[in-house]
Amino acid sequence: EAGVAQSPRYKIIEKRQSVAFWCNPISGHATLYWYQQILGQGPKLLIQFQNNGVVDDSQLPKDRFSAERLKGVDSTLKIQPAKLEDSAVYLCASSLASGQGYGYTFGSGTRLTVV
Partner 1 sequence: QKEVEQNSGPLSVPEGAIASLNCTYSDRGSQSFFWYRQYSGKSPELIMSIYSNGDKEDGRFTAQLNKASQYVSLLIRDSQPSDSATYLCAVQSGGSYIPTFGRGTSLIVHP
Smallest CA-to-CA distance from 96 within 48, 50, 46, 43 is with 50
Under the binding rule (CB under 8 A), the answer on residue 25 touching partner 1 is: no
Distance (Å, whole) CA 61 – CA 58: 8
Given the complex with partner 1, which of 49 and 65 has the nearer CB atom? 49
Under the binding rule (CB under 8 A), the answer on residue 105 touching partner 1 is: yes
Under the binding rule (CB under 8 A), the answer on residue 87 touching partner 1 is: no
| Residue 22 near residue 107 (C-beta atoms within 8 A) | no
> Per-residue string for binding with partner 1, 32-71, x by CB under 8 A?
-x------xxxxxx--x-------x---------------
Given the complex with partner 1, which of 22 and 106 has the nearer CB atom? 106
Please state the separation of Cα 71 from the chain's center in Å.
17
Q: What are phi and psi for residue 66, nearest 5 degrees?
A: -145, 155
Residues that bind partner 1 (CB under 8 A): 33, 40-45, 48, 56, 91, 98-109
